Structure 1
Amino acid sequence: MSEPTHSSLGLTPEQIAKFQEDGFLVLPDELDSSTVESLLKESRTLLEDFPLDSHPLTKFSTGETAPHVGDDYFLTSGDKIHFFFEEAAFSSSGELLKPKSQAINKIGHALHVLSAPFKNITLTARNRAIAASLAFKDPRVLQSMVICKQPEIGGPCPSHMDSTFLYTDPPSAVGFWYALEDATPNNGGLGFARGSHRRYGVGKRFVRLAEGGTGFQGKDEEGIEGEEFEDLTVKKGGLVLIHGQVLHRSTRNTSMDSRFIYTFHVIEGENKYDEKNWLQPGKEGFSRLNDVA
């Protein structure tokens, strides 16, 4: 992998201001074409090689009511590479309708630790500098994953804030979202409620439940349901920075084109990471960007 060429490793004052105003920032051509191809190759290898016979057939849903099938497989994925199926990949009787490599919704959640190609673009001086530009003092990386948005069956991701899932006190999450293929309104690209991070707090949380499993607690603030979204087109190689409280979503992919992306999150290590969050650190803790040479 070659490092992207930038006049400065961090963000410009204009880019910082736009991120603070809108709650997101698109950085085109962050990854060169050879790097993108290496990440797609790694993703496809992982999809082809994982063993189906020992998999609990975990489906992934970000909806309000649909439970995670195989909660243990989900909850123990923070320091592993696990595979989560699209709901629409199965028939009503539970039969897989697609080859396994075309049926996975996402691969997660420790790609930046266990996969060299993804580690090489995550734990970098560039990303450390971006985090410093956004006032992080001790940026920690967690929840790295490839989201596949498979052709015809790629499920929607409803409107949400990332801090709902990765809460710190005070909130600090920022998503780093890399397009490995063109992401458009036709294949389930991103949509944002511009500036919504300045209008709403984190009212709802996705947590580990005392009785086991996961679920949502609390409720969204009044008015949040009426927000309008702008759909983006992000060319492959582009990076989108996502504020932890900005409302964003993606639609179902009904096209014949996949929409592979790679994403991870950064939180402030000096803030309290909530013990109820679904993802909890292992004995090694979350990766520190300040340790990057």
Structure 2
Amino acid sequence: MKDVHQHTAETIQRLEQESLQVSVKSWLDDTPVSSTRSRFFHHAGFLHLPNFVDTSTCYKMKECMQEIVNNEWDTQQMDSFGTSAKENTARGDYFLESAARVHFFAEPSALDDNKQLKAEFQENKIAALNKVGHGLHLRQGPFSEYAFSVKISELMSELGWNDPLLPQSMYIFKQAVVGGAVNSHQDSTFLFTEPRQSCCGLWLALDEATTENGCLWVRPKSHREAVRRQYARNSARESDPSAPQFLMKELYEHSISWDGGLPGIGSFDDLMQAGFIAVPCQPGDLLVFSGELDHLSLPNKSSAARHTFQLHLIEGKDTTWSASNWLQYENPSRPFPRLHAGLDQFRAYEDEN
């Protein structure tokens, strides 16, 4: 087996050289890009920024999440979260209503047959969670302070977003031992914009992310491929309450055999042969990637959790949020917050969160 870390280093070195030698255009609007970071991002589809925030910021986010779980999670009202085809289409109202709120989603393996927390998690609830979402950026505290920081705003401007909007945030736990795989996917499948795709993911490591505890794997240059699937609300639900809440629409025929799953049996060799590289991160590192980039993470088989805080942005200029996307605010007149407008813009809505 080829060394995973050597494979990543060699691939990134090659991509860096290519990005400086070829003409690079933005995948957003096909305009030329100039800065070294922007050239690499638009050429490779991702950008790893070490030490983007300091470790004290990571600590504040983790501490805040512990308080949120302790004070707000009613374990009688929850759902589990997985990424299989069956789990994707079976999501219910609790998921839908999380768009502008803070809802809690457990690891499927942490629940018993009655969908209640297993005994071993009763005294340590946070260890049962898969994620918390999707409106953490809409409340005061370290999550919104980071999301609407000048540093994030300037980064998105450098990478080519004119008027970035922030529809979604989530805290992912990737728990020790029980943290499951996240199958291969493109984020634009779930955050679809028209007439062109404009989603960008910002993946902030709060813990060390390694190949043992489920770091992200990305497939460089796959962002130039079209979005293969669209996760959409099922219009048949209006006339048939028994119909699935959501559909996963195949948009065209393609040769990506692992789409929605894992290459081969999900071994390191299988992933590398399919074109993926591992991207280990230290606490405070930021991984930025296009919504069309193919990415995944393997199960956490270690004794160390891998917490991350993730933002998903879209372009507000000349693009429209799909009306069939799962994430829609209950108040249809409420706009997605504008990244460049800072914190004050959404305080009028705090009572909704």
- Residue 284 (structure 1) aligned with residue 334 (structure 2): yes
Among 50, 54, 61, which residue is 2:72 paired with? 50
Report 1:256-271 matches (<5 A): 256-270=303-317, 271=319
What is the CA-CA distance between 1:123 and the residue it aligns to? 0.5
Contact 1:59/1:69, CA 8 A, preserved across alignment: no
Among 218, 221, 231, which residue is 1:195 paired with? 221
User: Which residue is equivalent to 1:229?
Assistant: 276
Whole-Å Cα distance in 2 between the matches of residues 67 and 196 of structure 1? Answer: 23
Whole-Å Cα distance in 2 between the matches of residues 85 and 53 of structure 1? Answer: 9
What is the CA-CA distance between 1:49 and the residue it aligns to? 2.0
What is the CA-CA distance between 1:220 and the residue it aligns to? 5.9
Among 40, 51, 70, which residue is 1:18 paired with? 40
Q: Deviations over 1:101-129 (max 9, x none)?
A: 11010010011112411000000111111
Q: What is the root-mean-square deviation in Å for CA atoms of aligned residues?
A: 1.9
Whole-Å Cα distance in 2 between the matches of residues 95 and 72 of structure 1? Answer: 18
Contact 1:149/1:155, CA 8 A, preserved across alignment: yes
Q: Deviations over 1:7-66 (max 9, x none)?
A: xxxx981111111111110001011111111011011111222243541x3011222122
Q: Which amino acid aligns with 1:254?
A: K
Q: Assess, with a 3 A threshold, how the Cα gap between structure 1 residues 276 and 247 changes in structure 2: closer, same or farther.
A: same
Contact 2:163/2:316, CA 8 A, preserved across alignment: yes
Task: Give the structure-2-normalised TM-score.
Answer: 0.75
Q: Deviations over 1:217-248 (max 9, x none)?
A: 12564222363311111100000101110100
Among 185, 195, 207, which residue is 2:211 paired with? 185
What is the CA-CA distance between 1:70 and the residue it aligns to? 5.7
Report 1:1-293 matches (<5 A): 13-55=35-77, 57-67=78-88, 71-92=92-113, 94-97=115-118, 98-99=121-122, 100-169=125-194, 170-198=196-224, 200-212=225-237, 213-219=245-251, 221-225=253-257, 227-270=274-317, 271-281=319-329, 282=331, 283-292=333-342
Task: Give the structure-1-normalised TM-score.
Answer: 0.90
Q: Which amino acid aligns with 2:246?
A: T
What is the CA-CA distance between 1:76 and the residue it aligns to? 1.0
Structure 1 stretches lacking a partner, 5+ long: 1-10
Moved more, 92-101 or 144-153: 92-101
Q: Assess, with a 3 A threshold, how the Cα gap between structure 1 residues 53 and 180 changes in structure 2: closer, same or farther.
A: closer
Q: Deviations over 1:250-283 (max 9, x none)?
A: 1111211111000011101120110001111443
Contact 1:58/1:68, CA 8 A, preserved across alignment: no
Q: Which amino acid aligns with 2:247?
A: G
Whole-Å Cα distance in 2 between the matches of residues 70 and 161 of structure 1? Answer: 19
What is the CA-CA distance between 1:93 and the residue it aligns to? 5.2
Whole-Å Cα distance in 1 between the matches of residues 100 and 57 of structure 2? Answer: 24
Contact 1:139/1:269, CA 8 A, preserved across alignment: yes
What is the CA-CA distance between 1:202 and the residue it aligns to? 1.0
Q: Which amino acid aligns with 1:105?
A: N
